[in-house]
Amino acid sequence: MPKIKPLETHPRKYDEWYDKNSLIYQLELQAVNELLH
């Protein structure tokens, strides 16, 4: 039986989270980028 990922079953919820929390997402990306460089 194939495993179904949450993103595949609830794509709208993921999109809504990124729309509502774009600042948090950008800050997380910045933090990871700083750790890598």
Residue 27 within any structural domain of the chain: yes
Count of domains observed in the chain: 1
Residue 20 within any structural domain of the chain: yes
Residue 22 within any structural domain of the chain: yes
SS3 content of the chain, % helix, strand, coil (to 5): 80, 0, 20
Residue 1 within any structural domain of the chain: no
Whole-model pTM: value is 0.60
Which DSSP helix (H) or strand (E) runs through 23? helix 22-36
Output 9-14 pairs: Cβ under 8 A, ≥24 positions apart: none
Domain boundaries, position 30:
6-36
Q: Could you tell me which residue, 23 or 7, shows the higher pLDDT? A: 23
Given this model, what pLDDT does residue 7 score? 80
Residue 32 within any structural domain of the chain: yes
pLDDT at 1 over 70: no
Alpha-carbon gap, residue 24 to 8, rounded angstroms: 22
Residue 10 within any structural domain of the chain: yes
